[in-house]
Amino acid sequence: MSMTMTQKILAAHAGLESVKAGDLIEAKLDLVLGNDVTTPVAVDVFDGAGFTRVFDREKIAIVLDHYTPCKDIQSAQLCKKAREFAHRFGITHFYDVGQAGIEHALLPEKGLVAPGECVIGADSHTCTYGALGAFSTGVGSTDMAAGMAAGENWFKVPAAIRVTLTGEPGPYVSGKDVILHLIGLIGVDGALYRSLEFTGPGVAALSMDDRFTIANMAIEAGAKNGIFPVDEKTREYVAGRVSRPWTSYEADEDAPYEREVVIELDKLAPTVALPHLPSNTRTIDEVRGMAIDQVVIGSCTNGRISDLRTAAAILKGRKVAPNVRCIVIPATQEISLQCLKEGLTQIFLEAGCAFSTPTCGPCLGGHMGCMAQGERAVSTTNRNFVGRMGHVKSEVILASPAVAAASAAAGVLASPADLAD
């Protein structure tokens, strides 16, 4: 039976020769992830069910990143519960304040995910790791608890949509523009419980950071997961990070896809998503000049070193406009150190940006950038729902690091090409 990449990974982890869309299977897990918001709920379920052991302390990761460093007593209590659970069972991959980073940037950086693996996380953007050719998907805290205890989870095998990429991106076009363009084409439910499988000659033109961004936002089209083929760039990324054996899977030539979407990368322009859906997309030429109050550069989507290099190159020698607040958040401690080594931190600070320790804070309106009524932000995060970053009458425009940095300097929604030398 012909299968997609995702179906092959699930079949292998279920111990089956083949699976097809709609099958219900029980698959073994290579990693179970939780954060400071979802782990405490999972701990309550775990303890309430009477579980007394985890299946493998090496295959569980708990990252304190959403409301950390703790913003209030409630968030401190959540972190305490997650911390105590991690210590109780000797969880190897527990990352507390000072060692933590934003989970979906940290785990690949630490080599905790490899091609061909099966990963669940109690966070919707766990689909990020599909960039490495893994099956990874978000689940609820109940499934996280079951996964930690049993090392297995039930899945319904998803049908698939093939996204064929051709050409090469032009100036200031990145993975963020690619995924926003795709969501604009198919809608926020266009891939509902489907696997988005990226293929075609254009894949080679995308960096690993581009692929992480694209896979990260597969959920914004309703997808169960997003996944990329394993190529030389993937192998170079995992080399030196992953020491355990791993397996690369390829879709069959006649693999079953419900539909195909073709994206010509060379025809894309910098793209943004206006409030209040990631599918409400426009090219920057259509909306430049909109008034803004805040810019956020960071998150699990765009807080990697290449993102910050792009933003710093645009802000170097410039100042954040006086009417705008700009917050820059590296996704991990390692990225923060790299910013220091390369002088990026100095560029941001001299430009008038706030430069933060790694946190998810502003993305979900938790802290480090909550907005007031009537305010509007340009953000490199992944969601712009009503009230996502603060007051229900605030607004979020999703954009790439290049557009976000240019907007910070211009004081309005802008493209890097709009900035006069």
Q: Which tokens in the block code for residue 132? A: 């490495």
Does 5-263 match 271-418 in CATH topology? yes
pLDDT value of position 420: 66
Question: pLDDT tens digits for 166-218?
Answer: 999 999 999 999 999 999 999 999 999 999 999 999 999 999 999 999 999 99
Q: Which tokens in the block code for residue 95? A: 């990352």
Q: CA quadruple 354, 216, 406, 389: dihedral positive or negative? A: negative
Element holding 281 (H helix, E strand): strand 281-283
Indicate the domain borders of the chain.
Answer: 5-263, 271-418
Q: How far is Cα 33 from Cα 39, in angstroms, rounded to an integer? A: 8
In the predicted structure, residue 341 carries a pLDDT above the cut 60: yes
Helix (H, G, I), strand (E, B) or coil at 60: strand
pLDDT value of position 365: 87
pLDDT value of position 366: 87
Q: How far is Cα 335 from Cα 181, in angstroms, rounded to an integer? A: 28
Fold adopted by 271-418: Aconitase; domain 3 (3.30.499)
Contacts of 317 (CB under 8 A, 6+ apart): none
Q: Considering the domain 5-263, what is its CATH architecture?
A: 2-Layer Sandwich (3.30)
In the predicted structure, residue 302 carries a pLDDT above the cut 80: yes
Q: How far is Cα 43 from Cα 268, in angstroms, rounded to an integer? A: 45
Q: Which tokens in the block code for residue 416? A: 């890097």
Provide the pLDDT confidence category of residue 100 given band limits of 50, 70 and 90: confident
Rg (CA), the chain: 20
Pairing between β-strand 152-156 and β-strand 24-28 as defined by DSSP bridges: antiparallel
Residue from 108, 127, 321, 316 nearest 227 by CA: 127
